[in-house]
Amino acid sequence: MCSSDLGLPARERGLLAAFLLGDTRGLPPAALDRFRRAGMSHLLVVSGANVAAVLALLGPVLRRLPIATRVLVAAPALAVFGAATRWEPSVLRALAMAVAVLVAAAVGRPATALRTLALATTALLLLDPFLARSLGFGLSVGATAGIALVARPIAARLPGPRSLASVIAVTLAAQLGVAPVLIPTFGSVPAVALPANLLAGPLVVPVTVWGLVAGAAAAVLGPQAARALQWPSLVALRAIDAIAGIAARSEEHTSELQSPDHLVCRLLLEKK
């Protein structure tokens, strides 16, 4: 196992590229199938969390500027990010919402999540109706709609610490939001999707932000520094991959237990 670009082995580098840019070309088909069977394929699609990470990196600069000027500074950075991700449909949704929020703040208008999603989705579909056939776009819109509609009510009904309840509620709401897309496409929503996403989800944003910062620094400091800087990324990426692998195997076992052949065998054995 050797290190290369960004101070990461090829497998983890491909996974980081998927989290950062939605670029899955560095992942083998087996890895993509593993994430799909685990109900974690949406993590490989660029979402609002990625755009939020870009804006967070610009935060120290944006906070020093007048509200109206922030749009002029943030827009080119978002355009560069969009170009780097090859303007994937999910990226278009996230960028459109980010621009809408920035513009609303500049003109002093309220911008709720659901209203912003509706405006961004409508505008994008009017510009390109074929986005309606994009799985990535559907998953992105569905997850965002689920979070906007039911995350807060779910969190209010969950016991325990509010921080943990919020994480569980957002994950469950996103799963409910993508279900209308996943079920017609793949036939079901994996039963292991909720626990798998609860475990892996909190790792994705930190590893995305740190991987981007450490990768940029490593490009200047050299390969030895890159390996040291990316050590936290390596640990987190392997943990996420391990969660996907365990969840996929569990889902495969569950599917076998619920398969028609297995049920027939059980009926025959019970009759005997």
pLDDT (tens digit per residue) in 195-211? 888 888 888 878 887 87
Those residues whose C-beta lies under 8 Å from the C-beta of residue 55, and which sit 6 or more positions away, are 62, 74, 77, 78, 98
For residue 200, how many C-alpha atoms fall within 13 Å in the half-sphere facing its CB?
26
Question: CA 226, CA 53: separation in Å to the nearest integer?
Answer: 21
Paired tokens of 23: 């670029």
Which residues have C-beta within 8 Å of that of residue 152, sequence separation ≥ 6?
169
Q: 135-193 pLDDT, tens per residue?
A: 888 888 888 899 889 889 988 888 878 878 888 888 888 888 888 887 787 776 677 88
Tell me, what's the pLDDT at 129?
93
Output 105-114 pairs: Cβ under 8 A, ≥24 positions apart: 105/67, 105/70, 106/67, 106/68, 106/70, 106/71, 112/148, 113/144, 113/147, 113/148, 114/145, 114/148, 114/149
CA geometry: angle 220, 221, 223, nearest 5 deg: 110
C-beta separation of 131 from 89 below 8 A = yes
The token pair at 120 is 């961004």
What's the confidence (pLDDT) of residue 133? 87
Angle at 146 between CA 136 and CA 26, to 5 degrees: 30
The answer to whether residues 188 and 164 touch, using CB atoms and an 8 Å cutoff, is no
The pLDDT of residue 123 is: 92
pLDDT tens-digit profile, the chain (272 residues): 444 456 788 888 888 888 887 778 888 888 888 888 888 887 887 777 777 777 777 778 878 888 778 888 888 888 888 887 778 888 888 888 888 888 887 777 777 888 889 999 999 999 999 998 888 888 888 888 998 898 899 888 888 788 788 888 888 888 888 888 877 877 766 778 878 888 888 888 788 878 777 777 777 777 777 778 888 888 999 999 999 999 888 876 555 444 444 433 344 444 44
